[in-house]
A and B are shown apart, each in its own frame.
Chain A
């Protein structure tokens, strides 16, 4: 063990302290970096040498064995899962809020009020069936009903289009992330092959995977070379180590799983048919698809059904009546052909449109005071004509409003719960992987002292050497 060796020992301490200070600095610098896991320097002692008398070993300082990131893989997975659910709920909230706005008539007019007006106008007409202005009022009220059905439908379709745009954007995001994950895979494998842990790149990749799982439910697998493969749940592979696949959207017709005509289908280029629209789940993409193909579609078909039944039942009675010009068998609304899109095609019949005298109020000819048809039509208001004879029009429509509200409030509750869960998980992650400034400050002092002390060792060794060199002069 020579004096030079002592200098080396001091140097190794300085190097280790420097690594410590660098890492501490890196931690502090990244304290606010999303997804950053704090890093820790692992030091170990160098192999000792035997003392000159061969009786004991003398230490030869320290080396930095590796720099690790402090990270719990299982927790990361839980966070991914939790924030995927949160992203899905939040995405659904967006769509549901829009639907709720459409059906919110608590502070204004809406279909509920307009339909009761419609029936009440018929009731007024039954009081005075021959009155021209009451007939006009009936036609006006019917036109309002028609317009409001159209408004609701158009608004719902607008939301659908809006969601479709989001779907397109999300699919692009998925593709971008898949490519980035694949690129990171390659770079990480490169580092790992040189036995250098790629801490920061792995953090980076973890963030990308988390971003991806915010979009869609995935399954992530790690291989021995620390490369990941990502599968879409129910949708085949997206990234398999150094390969990435692509999703695409295309406007297609409707299907019986709730997709409407002209909305996007999602395809993957993995297998030949590759249609994933109804197999993708979770995340923002899954949430959007769910709102588009479930909630919106239910609302639309319920509106259609209602418009269809109103037109159908009013016509049925109206046809039995005699108009002011003595004609029997005239339709009030244009007779609907099918339930699908009935709310869009709801219209007054050409006769009633052209002249209010074609509104039939009487059951017999030549009886201007006969109000039996008018009163029969007004009586439809309370008849259970929807839902297999279980609800009236009013109840049916209120049911839509309540369901929309229910879905929204349910979802909001879900968000609050999920936020708590994710918050808790993030807190746990912070406890493990987060950077504590206080802790780093202490580390900084610790390493600084170590650095100073190691330098001191070198200067002592230097003095010793000088002493040795000056022996002769003495």
Chain B
């Protein structure tokens, strides 16, 4: 076989270039501590990394939402717990004043003042705000949901928010729902303040089979179920109690008792609903935390360079380069010329 000095040179050059090329890659990995620096380093992993980055970004947003929903629901719960106390007090008054034995005009008059206070307090509870937004007004977050006559001014909008991918919860309870034992037969509902829309439509937009967007809001069976003829309204009952006290109509006072019971049950039911939503948020957040840790680990596996490995490879490569060079020196140096006079 003929070996020419040109093929020697090519061989040397190639070995050195290859070695330097590998070193450059290691250098890039070492300096960025990432093994994937361009999509072509590992196209599939690169796409995966981007996907996980989006998930991470989304999770930050979900977390914020969950915090907000928590604040909303927590405040609603507080307000409703005050409302329960208030109703219990009203019921005590009604019990105390419902029999002729324990009540006379003088005490009833004095106590009607307290009921007036309760009424005002109930309105202020209904008009609770979180960060400037009325939480019991449904979608009408900008104006007080209950006016000073105790009439509901809000609507029955429920704000659905996404607290994890595809996990939606409603972060508010409309006053209509919380302050009426039978919202569908309530005066507020009948008088059209709320236009009945939430009962027909609600929920995020869906995509139908053809892939067209189409906002068709689903009917809410939850509300349908609570239909009943007899409604009790917090403000109406308080007013009725007060009027009964002022006029000495003991029958009327007695009749509020049952209504207050219904209302207390209702408010407690709403509170337990809120409680389960809060629990839902908590478990979703916990699941998200776990998911995020797994994600972070996976991302790390995909894109982070193993420093020890890089260093070991680098040392190895250095040795290769050195030996290539020293061997090359011996290969290239001598020609026959050197040995002829």
Query: Which 10 A/B pairs are nearest by Cβ-Cβ distance?
Result: A405-B39, A367-B139, A376-B205, A405-B43, A369-B141, A408-B40, A434-B4, A402-B47, A409-B40, A120-B61
From B7, B50, B165, B207, give the contact of A434 (CB < 8 A).
Answer: B7
From A320, A367, A407, A430, give the contact of B6 (CB < 8 A).
Answer: A430
B335 / chain A contacts, CB cutoff of 8 Å = 437-438, 441
Do A408 and B38 have beta carbons less than 8 Å apart? yes
Q: Does B64 contact A (CB under 8 A)?
A: yes
Question: Taking the nearest CB of chain B, how far is it from the CB of A107, in angstroms?
Answer: 7
Within 8 A of B (CB), among A88-117: 96, 100-101, 103-107, 112-113, 116-117
| 8 pairs from A and B in contact (CB 8 Å cutoff) | A106-B39, A317-B215, A369-B140, A370-B139, A375-B161, A401-B46, A401-B47, A437-B4
Alpha-carbon distance between A368 and B340 when the two chains are bound, in angstroms: 100
Do B140 and A403 have beta carbons less than 8 Å apart? no
B207 / chain A contacts, CB cutoff of 8 Å = 383, 385
With contact pairs A367-B140, A369-B172, A372-B160 given, residues A431 and B7 touching in the complex (Cβ less than 8 Å): yes
Q: Does B227 contact A (CB under 8 A)?
A: no
Binds B, one of A125-133, A164-172, A248-256: A125-133
With contact pairs A130-B141, A442-B336 given, residues A123 and B162 touching in the complex (Cβ less than 8 Å): yes
Question: Taking the nearest CB of chain B, how far is it from the CB of A444, in angstroms?
Answer: 9
Within 8 A of B (CB), among A189-246: none
A contacts, CB < 8 Å to B = 31-32, 96, 100-101, 103-107, 112-113, 116-117, 119-120, 123-124, 126-128, 130, 313, 316-317, 320, 362-364, 366-373, 375-376, 378-385, 389, 394-395, 397-399, 401-409, 412, 423, 426-427, 430-432, 434-439, 441-442, 445
Do A112 and B53 have beta carbons less than 8 Å apart? yes
Do B139 and A100 have beta carbons less than 8 Å apart? no
Question: Taking the nearest CB of chain B, how far is it from the CB of A326, in angstroms?
Answer: 13
Question: Taking the nearest CB of chain A, how far is it from the CB of B234, in angstroms?
Answer: 21
Do B166 and A402 have beta carbons less than 8 Å apart? no
Do A127 and B51 have beta carbons less than 8 Å apart? no
From A127, A372, A427, give the contact of B215 (CB < 8 A).
Answer: A372
Do A389 and B211 have beta carbons less than 8 Å apart? yes
Q: Does B204 contact A (CB under 8 A)?
A: yes
Alpha-carbon distance between A124 and B163 when the two chains are bound, in angstroms: 11
Alpha-carbon distance between A107 and B33 when the two chains are bound, in angstroms: 11
Q: Does B225 contact A (CB under 8 A)?
A: no
Do B65 and A127 have beta carbons less than 8 Å apart? yes
Within 8 A of A (CB), among B201-247: 201-205, 207, 211-213, 215, 217
Question: Taking the nearest CB of chain B, how far is it from the CB of A450, in angstroms?
Answer: 16
Within 8 A of A (CB), among B17-43: 32, 34, 36-43
Question: Taking the nearest CB of chain B, how far is it from the CB of A70, in angstroms?
Answer: 10
From A373, A401, A441, give the contact of B50 (CB < 8 A).
Answer: A401
B162 / chain A contacts, CB cutoff of 8 Å = 123, 126, 375, 378-379
14 A-B pairs besides A372-B204, A394-B50 with CB distance below 8 A are A106-B39, A123-B162, A124-B65, A367-B139, A404-B39, A405-B39, A405-B41, A430-B10, A431-B7, A432-B2, A434-B4, A437-B5, A437-B335, A437-B337
Question: Taking the nearest CB of chain A, how far is it from the CB of B4, in angstroms?
Answer: 4
Question: Taking the nearest CB of chain A, how far is it from the CB of B162, in angstroms?
Answer: 6
CB closest chain-A residue, reference B2: A431
Q: Does B301 contact A (CB under 8 A)?
A: no
B197 / chain A contacts, CB cutoff of 8 Å = 364
CB closest chain-B residue, reference A426: B10
Question: Taking the nearest CB of chain A, how far is it from the CB of B288, in angstroms?
Answer: 14
From B2, B51, B133, give the contact of A130 (CB < 8 A).
Answer: B133
Do A100 and B340 have beta carbons less than 8 Å apart? no
Alpha-carbon distance between A382 and B162 when the two chains are bound, in angstroms: 13
A383 / chain B contacts, CB cutoff of 8 Å = 207
With contact pairs A120-B57, A379-B204, A423-B14 given, residues A106 and B141 touching in the complex (Cβ less than 8 Å): no
B215 / chain A contacts, CB cutoff of 8 Å = 317, 320, 363, 372-373, 376
Question: Taking the nearest CB of chain B, how far is it from the CB of A347, in angstroms?
Answer: 21
Alpha-carbon distance between A436 and B2 when the two chains are bound, in angstroms: 8
With contact pairs A375-B161, A437-B335 given, residues A124 and B47 touching in the complex (Cβ less than 8 Å): no
Alpha-carbon distance between A472 and B41 when the two chains are bound, in angstroms: 97
